Structures are given as structure tokens and as C-alpha cells.
């Protein structure tokens, strides 16, 4: 069965430090991959997506992610974290459903990011 694993439940980094959030997926083919961010009490905001092509994708707010097929990973990175980045981050896989449906995203359990001043 398809699944997404985010091994880190909670990460704390100092402001200005670099960040890497891990995501591994299990899927029979190359899926569509996404990273979303959720602030408390809010919906999900799309940070970036990978459909095909260049395996290093750039997103909003200075985030980037790298797709590694051999490792079934799609890790999110940011070179310098800001206090406003404190939130929960979700990795998601979008399988092709019946009739080309993209409506079914499978999410990881999320990684909560805390930022120390």
C-alpha cells in the first residue's frame, strides 16, 4: 500500500540555522510529491511540488526539495530558518487514481518545527 513516512515528529532549530525535513514514500511508480505547511488553526499551504523533470524543485518562502528515486525520498530544505517558519510540515504523495484522479493525497504524519531565537 502507498504510504508516506516523516520520521521526525518534532524538530527544533535555531533561527538562521539550516533545516532539512525528511520524507520517504512507498509507491509502485514515481508519484507526484508535495510539501505543505500548516500554522496552528489554519489550513494547508502548498510549499512546492514535484511532478517530473528536474529533481531539485524550488518553492515559496525560500524552501527547496530534492527528489531521490533510489532512496524514495523527497526531503525539504531551507538554508536559513526564520522564526516565522515555525509550523507543522506535511509531505504528501498524489497517486493516480481511477480516471486520472488527483484528488487522493496520502499524507505523512507531519513534522512540527520549532525555532529558537
Contacts 24+ apart (CB under 8 A), 100-104: 102/32
Q: Look at the block and give the residue holding cell 532549530.
A: 13
Q: Which is nearer to other proteins, 62 or 95 (CB)?
A: 95
HSE value, Cβ hemisphere, 13 Å, CA-based, for 98? 0
Residues 93-112 as x/- pattern, contact with other proteins by CB under 8 A: -x--xxxxxxxxxxxxxx--
Footprint on residues 37-56 left by other proteins (CB under 8 A): 41-46, 49, 51-52
Q: Would you say 28 or 103 has its CB closer to other proteins? A: 103
Site residues (vs other proteins, CB under 8 A): 32, 34, 36, 41-46, 49, 51-52, 90, 92, 94, 97-110
Amino acid at each position: 500500500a502507498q504510504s508516506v513516512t516523516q520520521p521526525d515528529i518534532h524538530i527544533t532549530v535555531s533561527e538562521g540555522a539550516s533545516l532539512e525535513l525528511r520524507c520517504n514514500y512507498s509507491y509502485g511508480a514515481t508519484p507526484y510529491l508535495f510539501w505543505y505547511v500548516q500554522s496552528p488553526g489554519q489550513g494547508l499551504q502548498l510549499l512546492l511540488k514535484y511532478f517530473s523533470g528536474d529533481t531539485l524543485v524550488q518553492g515559496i518562502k525560500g524552501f527547496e526539495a530534492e527528489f531521490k528515486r533510489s532512496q524514495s525520498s523527497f526531503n525539504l530544505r531551507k538554508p536559513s530558518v526564520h522564526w516565522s517558519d515555525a509550523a507543522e510540515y506535511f509531505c504528501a504523495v498524489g497517486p493516480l487514481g481511477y480516471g486520472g484522479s488527483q484528488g487522493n493525497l496520502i499524507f505523512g504524519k507531519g513534522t512540527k518545527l520549532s525555532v529558537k531565537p
